[in-house]
A and B are shown apart, each in its own frame.
Chain A
Amino acid sequence: AQSVTQPDIHITVSEGASLELRCNYSYGATPYLFWYVQSPGQGLQLLLKYFSGDTLVQGIKGFEAEFKRSQSSFNLRKPSVHWSDAAEYFCAVVPAYNNNDMRFGAGTRLTVKP
């Protein structure tokens, strides 16, 4: 079945530590890939996206993500987390055959310890 999976429901990191949030997808063809961030009670903001080309993509707020076709993964990373990064992070995919059907992973809640 087609799916997008975020294995970690909740992650806690210390401020200044590095961060990696995992995202795996299961689609016949490589979908288009996105990471969004949502602060409590707010809408979603796009961090970065991957369509094709360079497998390491840079986004806003110092985030980056790496597409690995062999692992069907699109993990989000940040070298040094700030307290303001505490939020919910969603990986999203759009199937190549249906451009209006963005599907979201379950989300990973990030807590940042001082």
Chain B
Amino acid sequence: DTEVTQTPKHLVMGMTNKKSLKCEQHMGHRAMYWYKQKAKKPPELMFVYSYEKLSINESVPSRFSPECPNSSLLNLHLHALQPEDSALYLCASSRTGTSVTGELFFGEGSRLTVL
């Protein structure tokens, strides 16, 4: 069982919809991450929220916006997505805010389909 919980597991949305993906961890970790994974491809980092600071992969379009309500939650707001945004979205957390001194703990992912 994963200790990083992602909801929903599956989401189908139209290009004009607004939806959100949620991620929660109760391990006291200080950093949380969103990755995007296309089929048969490796995960690609989208956002890092570490010690109350957000880092953004500059290649991520503005139709994706992260929100961190508290240290245990990291949401990903979706608006006006395109069909090519269909992918598995993975949330992860790490203990100290670095990928090095602690492993990344991944959730099971949210499968997004944009029609």
A binding-site residues for B, Cβ under 8 Å: 32, 34, 36, 41-46, 49, 51, 90, 94, 96, 99-102, 104-107
Contacts and interface: CB of A to CB of B under 8 A. Distances in A.
Contact of B107 (A32, A43, A101, A104): A43
A100 B55 contact: yes
B106 A100 contact: no
Contacts of B101: 99
A44 B43 contact: yes
Nearest to B4: A43
Nearest to A34: B103
Given A43-B2, A44-B90, A94-B100, A100 B107 contact: no
A25 B48 CA distance: 23
B90 A43 contact: yes
Given A43-B90, A100-B50, A90 B42 contact: yes
B90 to A, nearest CB: 6
B4 A105 contact: no
Nearest to B104: A102
For chain B, which range describes its interface: under 10, 10 to 19, 20 to 34, or 35 or more residues? 20 to 34
A60 to B, nearest CB: 11
B100 A45 contact: no
Contacts of B55: 100
Contacts of B40: 107
B106 to A, nearest CB: 4
A46 B103 contact: yes
13 contacts: A36-B106, A41-B108, A42-B109, A43-B4, A43-B106, A43-B109, A44-B106, A45-B106, A46-B104, A99-B98, A100-B31, A100-B97, A104-B44
A41 B100 CA distance: 26
Contact of A106 (B33, B42, B48, B111): B42
Interface string B1-42: 010100000000000000000000000000101000000111
B99 A41 contact: no
Contacts of A32: 99-100
Interface in B59-82: none
Nearest to B42: A104
